[in-house]
Amino acid sequence: MNDLILKIQQSADKNILFTMHSAKQCVKQYRMISPNEIHKVINSCEIIEDYPFDTRGHTCLISGRGNEKRYIHLVCYPTENFLQIITAYLPEEKKWDDNSKNREDIWNV
């Protein structure tokens, strides 16, 4: 996993590409996830779900802290030339545990 984190960070150092979907998610009024926060998440990220067989390529869900230490989740795809941000969101407390790293079992509520 550390190799993948390094690849994510190196890709982001070259360039960050936002999909139309991720850009729309970042600017939702209740989220307002800034580019600065995206960089903070990438620089201190943990991989919480790995999707090596995604149709786009090896993608993953990362978690990190943005401004005011709020958790932010990003689904991203590192390439040789850029890091593609597929989506960005604030994890809902109902779906994630206290540290926003593990999904709650919604079937046993």
**What does pLDDT average to over the chain?**
86
CATH number (2.60.40, 1.20.58, 3.30.1120, 3.30.2310) of 2-92 reads: 3.30.2310
Q: Which residue has the higher pLDDT, 92 or 42?
A: 42
Can you give the pLDDT at residue 39? 94
Cα 25 from chain centre: 12
Question: Domain limits of the chain?
Answer: 2-92
Tokens read off for 6: 């390094």
Model confidence at 60: pLDDT above 90: yes
Instruction: Determine the Cα–Cα distance for residues 22 and 50; give it in Å rounded to an integer.
Output: 18
Q: Tell me the pLDDT band of 2, cut-offs 50, 70 and 90.
A: confident
Q: Tell me the pLDDT band of 107, cut-offs 50, 70 and 90.
A: very low
Instruction: Determine the Cα–Cα distance for residues 76 and 86; give it in Å rounded to an integer.
Output: 5
**SS3 at position 40:** helix
Model confidence at 84: pLDDT above 60: yes
